[in-house]
Amino acid sequence: MLEVKSVTEISNDIKNILENNIPFVLVEGEISNYKPHYSGHKYFTLKDDYAQINCTMWKSRPLNFNLFDGQKVLITGAISVYPPRGSYNIDVLSILPAGTGDLFQAFEQLKQKLDALGYFDAEQKITIPDFILNIGVSTSPTGAAIQDIISTIKRRFPLADIYFRPTIVQGESASMDIVKAIKELTQYPVDVIIVGRGGGSIEDLWAYNTEEVANAIYNCSVPIISAVGHETDFTISDFVADIRAATPTAAAELATPITQHEILSNLDAFMANMRANIEQKIDDIKKTLQIHNVDRFYNLFMNRINYTYEKIDNLSDTIRKDMHFALKNKINEINNLENRLIELSPYTPLLRGYCLIQKDSKTISNNISLSNLQTFEIIRKNEKVNAIFSSISS
């Protein structure tokens, strides 16, 4: 005999079955009945040719392009049941346009919006300093970009200190990590910040096409060089940044406008000019003394001049030796720091086949059991997946 249940009980049974067995979904469909609420929440229907489902996206979840009816999108969310109305819907976590064409449309929409707000205006750009000693870098710790940047800076101006903030450059959490990296680098005495990564598809570079990253660059008090992708790639960050570099290597060159060779050449030219001026003064005084036939004072003066010559020569040698010594120490220091950074990076073990487990972009330590987490992320060298903990009972 069937058990008699109330409407509330059967509704709660349905809620538990759906929410516990289908916690997360990835759905592609067409937007219909889109209604942006004045509060910032977004309500719409996701449909295809044969079915439809209501969707809700709360204002706390960022969206980097405009939604409209008929638009095809890819939605990540969770099934949610509302018993008082006997309805179910998708609680939307993120939305992406479906297909490269739609991504380009989203790119153009944000570009037009930021252009109208003056984000790209030349008068808003901060001039890169002529002499730079401290360089901030935000990029992946495992890609070729960081190696190109470090090697170029070491070759051109090894006296510069590099403040490297390893950054997630691809995936759902990349945009917010780039924003955090920019903010953290401004806490150090950096003269310029390089923000970038290597090349890739429009999907790979999408983190640099978000409004959050654009705002972080626009509001940064330190000049930023954007170096995202290859020479033919353009992102929103390129337009907002104070200067755009075609490649990470080009960004490192822009961050070292004066090279070690130029400094040493200028020092040699300065010393030669000073010596020429002194010799000219000596000749002028010598002629004056000879005219007045004051040999005694002339000899005393020439001895003093010769002594000064000797001091200048010694000082010149000391400066050159100290500079070469300092350059050598800086190169060794940078090499040690680079090796230490790579060694301590939580992403380095990924190159050897290990994986990293995170929750909300925070690494899960050994003293936290995965059974306490409903969901978490597994990050490997070339991929990131969302995982759901499921206990197996015997």
Give me the pLDDT at residue 136, please.
Answer: 96
CA-nearest of 247, 189, 253, 200 to 222 is 189
What does 93-154 look like in DSSP terms, one character per residue? EEEEESSHHHHHHHHHHHHHHHHHTTTT-GGGPPPPPSS--EEEEEE-SSSHHHHHHHHHHH
Quick one: tokens of 41?
A: 């929440």
Give me the pLDDT at residue 290, please.
Answer: 65
CA-nearest of 134, 133, 251 to 194 is 251
**Helix axes 100-116 and 211-218, enclosed angle (nearest 10):** 30
Whether 43 contacts 58, CB under 8 Å: no
Give me the pLDDT at residue 393, please.
Answer: 52
CA distance 46 to 49: 11
Question: Full-prediction pTM beyond 0.85?
Answer: no
CA distance 276 to 22: 84
For 293, other C-beta atoms within 10 Å of its C-beta total 7
Give me the pLDDT at residue 101, please.
Answer: 58
CATH superfamily of 7-98: Nucleic acid-binding proteins (2.40.50.140)
Helix (H) or strand (E) holding 253: helix 248-254
All structural domains of the chain with their residue ranges: 7-98, 113-254, 260-344, 348-388
Query: Which residues lie across from 92 on neighbouring strands?
Result: 77
CA distance 86 to 82: 6
Terminal alpha carbon distance of the chain: 29
Place of tokens 């020092």: 267
Return per-residue pLDDT of the chain as tens, 394 residues.
Answer: 678 877 888 778 787 887 777 778 888 888 888 888 888 889 999 988 788 899 999 888 877 777 888 888 888 888 888 888 878 889 998 888 776 556 777 888 899 999 999 999 999 999 999 889 999 999 999 888 999 999 999 988 888 999 999 999 988 889 999 999 999 999 999 999 999 998 877 778 889 999 999 999 999 999 999 999 877 778 999 999 999 998 999 999 999 988 877 777 777 777 777 888 887 887 777 776 666 655 666 677 777 777 777 888 788 778 888 888 888 888 888 888 878 877 777 777 777 778 888 887 788 877 777 777 778 888 887 777 888 776 655 4
Whether 147 contacts 252, CB under 8 Å: no
How many residues make up the chain in this entry?
A: 394
CA-nearest of 202, 211, 207, 204 to 234 is 202
Measured at the alpha carbon of residue 48, what is the angle toward residues 46 and 51, in degrees to the nearest 5? 80
CA distance 106 to 210: 10
Q: What is the signed CA dihedral for 291, 297, 302, 305, rounded to 10 degrees?
A: -110
Give me the pLDDT at residue 337, please.
Answer: 80
CA distance 199 to 145: 9
CA distance 242 to 248: 15
Give SS3 for 315: helix
CATH 3.40.50.300 fits 113-254, yes or no: no
Give me the pLDDT at residue 394, please.
Answer: 45
Spatial CB neighbours of 368, under 8 Å, sequence gap ≥ 6: none
